[in-house]
Amino acid sequence: INKISLNICENLEEASEKVVQYFISVHKHSSNHFYIIPGGSTPVLFYKKLAHYVDDWRDTTFILSDERMVDENNKLSNSYHIKENLLKCIKDNELPNFLSFSNLINLDQKEITSSFINDELKKFGRPEIAVLGLGADGHTASLFPGNPDFLVDDDKSST
């Protein structure tokens, strides 16, 4: 059964706590530990709470819902935030697998599709949870509400 949940919270603390508690309940009772998690600086509290509350990371794999195509050591990189606020807070021998986009920075679209999406993601199948956004602006994967670029029809704009 697919479940979609939308929660509107008073603040980031409440939102992070709700998502972490939901994550924990699913993680404990599922054999599929493949998750899509949000990028950016807003989910940092969520990452820290995950690292603190979850004790068993065996067979767990994360991938970001979005990434900025910059070096993963750059503070603008979403991978950087995952590494600093989640992975560094977990014991080395218990680390989850993190599928980083960093090896894709210099590839063109065709190479990305064939090398990463078709090969790597097929190994993991369908994610158990996809957390697509945390934050006051409600944006998901860099799609910001009210952005007029969403209203442009590319086929008509070239006339």
Task: Per-residue pLDDT tens, the chain, 159 aa: give them.
Answer: 466 667 778 888 998 999 999 999 999 999 999 999 988 888 899 999 999 999 899 899 998 887 777 778 888 888 899 999 999 999 877 899 888 766 666 566 666 666 566 677 778 888 898 887 766 655 555 555 565 554 555 555 444
All residues at 6 or more sequence positions from 103 whose CB lies less than 8 Å from its CB, including other chains: 116
State the residue for tokens 């097929």: 122
Residues 34 and 96: their CA atoms lie apart, in Å, by 10
Contact 105, 70 (CB under 8 A): yes
Cα separation of the two ends of the chain = 45
Nearest to 135 by CA among 47, 35, 37, 8: 8
Q: What are 7's strand-pairing partners?
A: none
pTM above 0.85, yes or no: no
Amino acid present at 4: I
Do the strands 129-130 and 97-99 form a parallel or antiparallel pair, or are they unpaired? unpaired
Q: Which stretch of DSSP H or E encloses residue 140? A: none
